[in-house]
Amino acid sequence: MSIKRAKISAVGHYLPEYRLTNFELEKMVDTNDEWIRTRTGISERRILKDPDKATAFMGAEAAKEALEEASVDPLEIDLVVLATVTPDYLFPATACLVQEMIGAKNAFAFDLSAACSGFLYALSTGASFIEAGNAKKVLVIGADKMSSILDYTDRNTCILFGDGAGAVILEESDDDTGIINSIHHTEGDTNCSLYQHAGGSLNPATAETVAARQHYITQDGRAVFKKATMGMADVSLEIMKKNNLTADDVDWLVPHQANLRIIEATANRMGVTSDKVMININKYGNTTAGTIPLCLYDWKNKLNKGDNLVLAAFGGGFTWGATYVKWSM
């Protein structure tokens, strides 16, 4: 029996118009443009200002663009998987709202929470449904409105993140290109290095949790930086080894965009030169589940059929992983 393989057949994106620059942040917290650029690589990030719009809106816009590019009718979609840590509501799932917004009436839909690794976890999940023959067309979305959980008085976190979304359509591949395989890891973050403490069932929202600013991200930046640098580089080497890929075989590294120094360390460990690394953190900051599909979108006109892509991410959880994709378009 031949094994089915999923391929990416279209990429869409959504970025809010508003650009929050480092210079504007200088007026909000004790920071400066030079520090942010040299320590993170970020110059500006996009912010969704409209209070009536959130993650579902951005995910739906990205999905619509992908559907149009692939000339796929929304009614053909069997499954919508949406990765996010900033759902519109705790429930129902944001994926259900997107399903309705785009008219994918025949799809079932669910969210997946794996922070900055969310898109890679969702990509593997969507691909598995196609490989098993349980879906023909799957929409995989990474979307986050990080500004909704950022404390703009905390310089350790508010400079890092932005809002945005990316989406891909998965279909069955009819050649040797597509999503070849993935490696995923998890290590429970019992030290609370990267957390949103309140709002869940352990610490439901109260006047006290709001007053204590516990609905915002808190982070031990140094600890996360160390973990992320090791994790992303290790798993990228692991996926190269699993597929017998040398640095020369890798056409593109598609890294999660958390910090330029983490990206450079990963590329160095892999032996991949900087011209083969997708970097757009300078323009968008860390959009959590959005970073990898936003890279694919920005670079899609430079990609050729058969190109070897290594997608790699590390995020809260801790979660991390890498996926080997042979580009199909």
Length of the chain in terms of residues written: 329
Q: Is 282 a catalytic residue?
A: no
Among residues 314, 252, 11, the alpha carbon closest in space to that of 140 is found at 11
The answer to whether residue 282 forms part of the interface with ligand COA (CB under 6 A) is no
Q: What is the CA radius of gyration of the chain?
A: 19
The residue from 4, 18, 35, 300 that contacts ligand COA (CB under 6 A) is 35
Alpha carbon distance 173, 131 (integer Å): 10
- Which of these ranges, 3-11, 74-82, 136-144, 154-162, lies near ligand COA under the rule CB under 6 A? 154-162
The answer to whether residue 228 forms part of the interface with ligand COA (CB under 6 A) is yes
Q: Compute the C-alpha angle 218/21/146, nearest 5°.
A: 35
- Which of these ranges, 168-176, 197-205, 289-297, 309-317, lies near ligand COA under the rule CB under 6 A? 309-317
The residue from 222, 241, 302, 305 that contacts ligand COA (CB under 6 A) is 222
Q: Is 192 a catalytic residue?
A: no
In which element (H, E) is residue 49 found? none
Q: Letter for the amino acid at 317? A: G
Q: Please state whether beta strands 79-83 and 137-145 pair in parallel, antiparallel, or not at all (unpaired).
A: parallel
Give 14 or 318: the residue with its C-beta nearer to ligand COA: 318
List alpha helices for 71-206, DSSP H.
94-102, 118-131
The residue from 9, 22, 40, 84 that contacts ligand COA (CB under 6 A) is 40
Q: Is 185 a catalytic residue?
A: no
List alpha helices for 9-54, DSSP H.
22-26, 33-40
The residue from 31, 203, 218, 243 that contacts ligand COA (CB under 6 A) is 31
Q: Which residues contact 202 (CB under 8 A, 6 or more apart)?
A: none
The residue from 74, 166, 285, 315 that contacts ligand COA (CB under 6 A) is 315
- Which of these ranges, 84-92, 124-132, 274-282, 308-316, lies near ligand COA under the rule CB under 6 A? 308-316
Q: Could you say which residues in the range 159-218 bind ligand COA, by CB under 6 A?
A: 159, 194
- Which of these ranges, 47-55, 83-91, 119-127, 224-232, lies near ligand COA under the rule CB under 6 A? 224-232
- The answer to whether residues 47 and 28 touch, using CB atoms and an 8 Å cutoff, is no
Tokens matching residue 79: 């499954």
The answer to whether residue 292 forms part of the interface with ligand COA (CB under 6 A) is no
Tokens matching residue 284: 């968008």
The answer to whether residue 129 forms part of the interface with ligand COA (CB under 6 A) is no
Alpha carbon distance 95, 63 (integer Å): 11
Interface with ligand COA (CB under 6 A), residue total 21
Site of interaction with ligand COA (CB under 6 A): 31, 35, 39-40, 116, 155-156, 159, 194, 219, 221-222, 224-225, 228, 258-259, 286, 314-316
Residues with a known catalytic role: 116, 256, 286
